[in-house]
Amino acid sequence: MKLKNLLLLSMIALIVAIAAACGTKEDEPSGNENDNANQSEDAGADEDAATLEGSVVIDGSGTVYPLMAKIAEEYMINEQENVSVEVSRAGTSAGFKKFLVEGGNDFNDASRQMKDEEAAEAESLGMEVKELKVALDGLTFVINPENDWAKELTPEQLISIFKADGNVQKWSDINPEWPAEDINPMGPNENHGTYEFFYENVLDKQDLADHVKLEQDYSTLVNLVSEDKNGIAFFGFGYYVNNTDKLQAVHVDFGNGAVEPSLETIAEDGDYADFTRPVFTYLNVDNAKEKAQVLDYALYVVNNVNTFAGETGFAPIPEEEVEANIEFLNGLK
């Protein structure tokens, strides 16, 4: 009978699925241990020729994601095609929750430094964590291409536009010669590390004005400003540099003349230093010692961050810091 066969089939499928589930669970751990043992031996004996396999699991900041995804893809194409580097983008804080657990992720990307309580968590787990700075991002303020008055602003003027009691509603409140039209300030919402950086380092934890529109998606901000002559928004340099046809960047006058954010000026000792923030990836050092593919990938990342930073909208970090990271990682072998 047709119906009987159908029922039988679905039952068999279910049983097979369950049986297979149990089977692999038993096999997997021992298999992996063997692999890892072999790999570390290989790595010790002859690191260049070794073909690695296994996976490298990365989660964390969505801001750092484009850079990490690019590096991961290049690594899989050019270095170790049998290693699967998996990059997720749950956000800096959510990522740390998956990183700071027993058997957690190998890396966590972060658009801010690790907080004290997160460091304490790592310590209580007895986990060794290494901070690797991967690139620099410049907080960029963007305006509509038709806006021909607010092309240069000081940090104080920018703050007065965004903060609660800045007494700035119209452009003419900043400069009487500018249009008497309402300014529409906007930015990413509290879920983003970019918001945290702006709130803590630029606004000095002063409240934002109620009329600042906070958005979840950067693409929304790009569209809003590109359609609004009176719009002004802030976000990472990458979102500006990929949309230069729709937006123009505000040149910021920190006291020594207006500075345009660019890959040259965004640096911790550069002209745009005040609005420059480093982005990181955190490495689980214990995992790197245990799994050869994690250490190998970590070395690939620190060796190549400056190659790929530019095309993903980040500024490079100084060579000395790269050297120091390479030295640290080589010490783990």
- CA 55 to centroid of chain Cα atoms: 20
Total residues in contact with another protein, by rule CB under 8 A: 42
Q: Going residue by residue from 47 to 66, which x/- string records binding to another protein, judged by CB under 8 A?
A: --------x-x-x-----xx
**Residue 160 in contact with residue 189, Cβ under 8 Å?**
no
- The verdict on 4 binding another protein (CB under 8 A) reads yes
Residue closer to another protein (CB basis): 3 or 45: 3
Question: Angle at Cα 163 formed by Cα 145 and Cα 315, nearest 5°?
Answer: 55
Residue closer to another protein (CB basis): 13 or 164: 13
Return the range that interacts with another protein (CB under 8 A); candidates 32-40, 108-116, 200-208, 211-219.
211-219
- The verdict on 91 binding another protein (CB under 8 A) reads no
Binding residues among 235-254 for another protein as defined by CB under 8 A:
238-239, 242-243
Q: Tell me how far, at minimum, the Cβ of 130 lies from another protein, in Å.
A: 22
Binder of another protein out of 143, 313, 314, 322 (CB under 8 A): 313
- The verdict on 25 binding another protein (CB under 8 A) reads yes
- The verdict on 10 binding another protein (CB under 8 A) reads yes
Binder of another protein out of 78, 219, 307, 330 (CB under 8 A): 219
**Residue 197 in contact with residue 113, Cβ under 8 Å?**
no
Binder of another protein out of 33, 41, 86, 323 (CB under 8 A): 86
- The verdict on 69 binding another protein (CB under 8 A) reads yes
Q: How far is CA 110 from CA 101, 114, 127, 136, 188, in A?
A: 17, 8, 18, 12, 16
**Nearest alpha-carbon partner for 178 in 200, 201, 148, 198:** 148
109 SS3 class: strand
Fill in the amino acid letter for 315: A
> CB pairs under 8 A, 24+ apart, for 68-76?
68/107, 68/109, 68/134, 68/281, 68/301, 70/308, 70/311, 70/312, 71/300, 71/301, 71/304, 71/305, 71/308, 72/297, 74/304, 74/308, 75/297, 75/300, 75/301
Question: Angle at Cα 284 formed by Cα 131 and Cα 196, nearest 5°?
Answer: 45
Return the range that interacts with another protein (CB under 8 A); candidates 7-15, 44-52, 184-192, 314-322.
7-15
Q: How many CB atoms lie within 10 A of CB 146?
A: 10
Residue closer to another protein (CB basis): 21 or 49: 21
Binder of another protein out of 73, 123, 156, 323 (CB under 8 A): 73
Residue closer to another protein (CB basis): 85 or 250: 85
Q: Tell me how far, at minimum, the Cβ of 89 lies from another protein, in Å.
A: 5
Q: Which helix (H) or strand (E) holds 23?
A: helix 2-45
Binder of another protein out of 24, 175, 189, 244 (CB under 8 A): 24
Please tell me the distance from the alpha carbon of residue 245 to that of residue 186, in angstroms, as a whole number.
19
Residue closer to another protein (CB basis): 25 or 205: 25
**Residue 249 in contact with residue 141, Cβ under 8 Å?**
yes
Binding residues among 140-199 for another protein as defined by CB under 8 A:
none
- The verdict on 33 binding another protein (CB under 8 A) reads no
- The verdict on 22 binding another protein (CB under 8 A) reads no
Binder of another protein out of 35, 38, 76, 172 (CB under 8 A): 76
Q: How far is CA 31 from CA 24, 25, 28, 179, 292, in A?
A: 10, 10, 5, 70, 15
Residue closer to another protein (CB basis): 73 or 146: 73
Residues that bind another protein (CB under 8 A): 1-4, 10-11, 13-14, 17, 20-21, 24-25, 55, 57, 59, 65-66, 68-70, 72-73, 76, 84-90, 98, 217-219, 222, 238-239, 242-243, 312-313
